[in-house]
A and B are shown apart, each in its own frame.
Chain A
Amino acid sequence: MDSSKRIISAMIRYFLVPLLAVIFGFFICSIIMIISWQDPVKAFHALFEGAGLFGNIRRFGYTLLAMTPLILTGLSVALAFRTGLFNIGAAGQMLMGGFTAVLVGISFTNLPIIIHLPLAVISALVAGSLWAFIPGLLKARYRVHEVVSTIMMNWISMWSVYYFVPKLIKGGYETESLPIQETASLRTDFLTNLFEGTDVNLGIFISILSIIVVWWLLDKTTFGYELKATGFNKDSAKYAGMKVNRNIILSMMISGGLAGLAGATYYLGFTNKIIIGSLPSQGYDGISVALIGANHPVGILVSSFLLAIIQSGSDQMDAIANVPNEFVSIIVAVIILFAATNKTMKLWLDKFKKIIFRR
């Protein structure tokens, strides 16, 4: 009896509340569309059709392609959240990871793919975690709030890439780098053919593997428990003999490493080069993914899929239903607002549950 109650409670927390948030999100957005004289049924049909949910394998490939970095940035932000940190800097860490990976991908020639590709991917991981080391250190040592410091690091990364790409690996245009060597690319003919010519790449396996690793790390290891305990209550963690400052820095570095991997999948698997002058939007989308997925690895799998659908279907929605691209971000924001109110929503659901079970 007790365990069934616990299962119901967990179901509400991890499944019902996010689901309700998504439903509310689409509902509110339908109202906004109706107010601005648009047809929500037509728009959402176009959205899902554009994402390939109705059997178009090529479009579905684009959805998977969009999903690949979102999983990793979502995991990055979620791991930080679970350990009490708010990492807005995933965008910068992703960019630095991608930049390093592209640098490795261009500069080493004549390496076999079996060495070159892992080298590029691992260098992205290392670069991302080193970039996150700085805000981690500032937080642990000087109590600088990570929200502000990671945002500053984002801008620093953008301008650093802006400076170093034309200096080191200038490509055909002023604003982009050379393309990477074939041997550093995550694309494979097998996946490209399977999805009829889209750029779905090996990155999707990196992403899914990362989900499993993060789940195992956070829920099955002592180390993960320590990280969570530090985030939950720093003083009691310290009292229990944990190295609080070390744990803060390590949480930040793992989080940054995941964002760096996202950079590897994006730049080595999709763009094949670096275009300067902006931060990758996936870094910020990672916040949405983590929040909608309730910071749980399985939730992130679902929420990144949802976000990828929304993103890859938005062009179709624009073309067929004449709803501007920006609208999809409104959907996401409304979903997050509802997901953020989960405490009160859960309270209401618990009351509702009590009424039902008493009967």
Chain B
Amino acid sequence: MLEALNNIVPLAICFTTPLLIIALGGLVSERSGVVNIGLEGILGFGAFTSAYVLNVVLNDFSFISLCIALVSGAIAGGFFSLIHAFASITMKANQVISGTALNILSPALAIYLSRIFAGSANIGIKQGFLKTNVPLLSKIPFLGVLFRDAYITSLLVLIIVIITWFILYRRPLGLRLRSCGENPHAADSAGINVNRMRYLGVFVSGTFAGLGGAIIITTYAGEFSINIYNGLGFLALAALIFGKWKPFGVLVAALFFGITKTSAEISTMNNLLKEMPQIIFTTFPYVATLIALVVFSKNSVSPKAAGEPFEAGKR
């Protein structure tokens, strides 16, 4: 049992890390009052940029280059999400539609640019981050398993979660941002520039999602291709709902999804479980998500004004 746990957990963390940071991006955006369904597209664009920077611009896979790739993926995601911000905040477009447009645009644009500038629809990554045991933390009895055989990016994401929580719930900036998602008119009358806050929310959300894409590239993906777009951004939305729009709730939800998905994958290799119909394992993460949503959606606590364009004159 303990051995199985030791096998599953490192893999689950590996999958959870990008999911968590992407869901956190969705959280910041929705807290500011903009539904960001375009996470999938943004993460793909971040993944493309980091793969391009790594393979074509730097053509070097050292630790420093990998870090540069992470940063460039995050920045690219941030700027890509500004399309969504402009359409949904300035132009008051339906947020779900403009997010969908990002999801359609991103794979097409990324593969197009990849063909034009890198010569092929796939960009290979020779070497990503290496797995290490996090010093000190991996020595903790029991919980140490979370930090054994992990990528450095997992720790980075964990730190970002804590910082995000601190800013959202302990700093004035976070209060202002959240107020724009709950009651933008009250925020407006208190002298907060609602649209600027929402731009900030969407930009940060794009940065996080782009970073998520870059993490996928620099850890387990091995290459950038159309397969990067496999629904992780939507799973992040589910994690956001499941985690009740709270940073640590999202952390737990992402971990739950990571473990269900990994155990579903591992069970196909287990001799004892091999005899059972495969459909049980392949659909398990999705069925589990649906059930989790049924259980937790009833008293949903989504930000009240998320999804509505802000119009100052409207009561």
Judge: A and B partners, yes or no: yes
Interface residues of A, Cβ cutoff 8 Å to B: 36, 86, 138, 142-145, 147-149, 151-153, 155-156, 159-160, 162-164, 284, 287-288, 291, 324, 326-330, 332-334, 336-337, 339-344
Residue of A nearest to B117 (CB): A36
Q: Which of B66-86 touch A at CB < 8 Å?
A: 83
A145 nearest in chain B by CB position:
B241
25 cross-chain CB contacts under 8 A = A86-B96, A138-B290, A144-B293, A144-B294, A144-B297, A145-B241, A147-B96, A148-B241, A148-B289, A160-B279, A163-B278, A324-B111, A324-B112, A329-B108, A330-B108, A332-B108, A333-B105, A334-B105, A336-B104, A337-B98, A340-B94, A341-B87, A341-B91, A341-B98, A343-B92
**Is B286's CB under 8 angstroms from A143's CB?**
no
CB contacts (< 8 Å) of A152 on chain B: these are 238, 286-287, 289-290
What is the CA–CA distance of A343 and B93 in the complex, to the nearest angstrom? 7
**Proximity string of chain B (283-310) to chain A, C-beta cutoff 8 Å, 1 when within and 0 when not:** 1001101100110011010000000010
Known contacts A160-B279, A332-B104; can you find 17 more A-B pairs with CB under 8 A? A138-B293, A142-B293, A143-B297, A143-B300, A148-B241, A151-B234, A152-B286, A163-B282, A287-B100, A324-B116, A326-B111, A328-B108, A329-B105, A330-B108, A330-B109, A340-B91, A344-B92
The DSSP consensus for interface residues of chain B is helix
In the complex, B37 has a CB within 8 A of chain A:
yes
Instruction: Report the separation of the CA atoms of residues A149 and B235 in the bound assembly, to the nearest whole angstrom.
Output: 10
CB contact under 8 A between A148 and B238, given known A341-B91, A344-B91: yes
Residues of B within 8 A of A (CB): 37, 83, 87, 91-94, 96-98, 100-102, 104-105, 107-109, 111-112, 115-116, 231, 234, 237-238, 241, 277-279, 282-283, 286-287, 289-290, 293-294, 297-298, 300, 309
Asked if A142 and B297 make an inter-chain contact with CB atoms under 8 angstroms apart, the answer reads: yes
Closest to B109 in A: A330
Residue of A nearest to B302 (CB): A145
Q: Are B279 and A159 in contact (CB under 8 A)?
A: yes
Q: What's the Cα separation between A263 and B107 when bound, in Å?
A: 24
Please judge, given known A-B contacts A160-B283, A344-B92, whether A144 and B108 are in contact too, CB under 8 Å: no
Q: Give the distance in Å from the alpha carbon of A144 to the alpha carbon of B237 in the complex.
A: 12
Kindly state the separation between the CA atoms of A143 and B234 in the bound complex, as whole angstroms. 18
- Across the interface, which residues of A come within 8 angstroms of B112, CB to CB? 324, 326-327, 330
B101 contact from A149, A155, A340, Cβ within 8 A: A340
**Distance (Å) between the CB of A25 and the closest chain B CB?**
11
Q: Which residues from B are CB-within-8-Å of A328?
A: 108
Does A159 lie within 8 Å of B283, measured CB to CB? Answer: yes
The list of the 10 closest CB pairs from A to B, nearest first, reads A329-B108, A333-B105, A340-B93, A341-B91, A163-B279, A159-B282, A340-B97, A333-B104, A336-B101, A152-B286
Using Cβ atoms and an 8 Å threshold, which residues of chain B touch A334? 101, 105
- A166 CB, min distance to chain B CBs, angstroms: 10
Judging by beta carbons under 8 Å apart, are B100 and A336 in contact?
Answer: yes
Known: A148-B238, A159-B282. A336 touches B97 (CB 8 A): yes
Chain B positions within 8 Å of A291 at CB level: 97, 100
Chain A residues within an 8 Å CB radius of B234: 147-148, 151
CB distance from A139 to the nearest CB of B (A): 10
| Chain B residues positioned under 8 Å from A343 (CB to CB) | 91-93, 309
Kindly report which residue of chain A lies nearest to residue B230, judged by CB atoms: A155
User: Which of A148, A333, A342 is close to B237, meaning CB atoms less than 8 Å apart?
Assistant: A148
User: What chain A residues lie within 8 Å of B282 (beta carbons)?
Assistant: 159, 162-163
Known: A36-B116, A324-B116, A329-B108. A147 touches B97 (CB 8 A): no
Q: Which residue of A lies closest to B238 (CB)?
A: A148
Contact: B115 with A326, CB < 8 Å?
yes
Least CB distance from B225 to A in Å reads: 12
In angstroms, Cα B96 to Cα A22, docked, is 20
A contact residues around B94 at 8 Å (CB): 340
Q: Is the CB of A156 within 8 A of B286?
A: yes
A153 to B279, CA, bound (A): 14
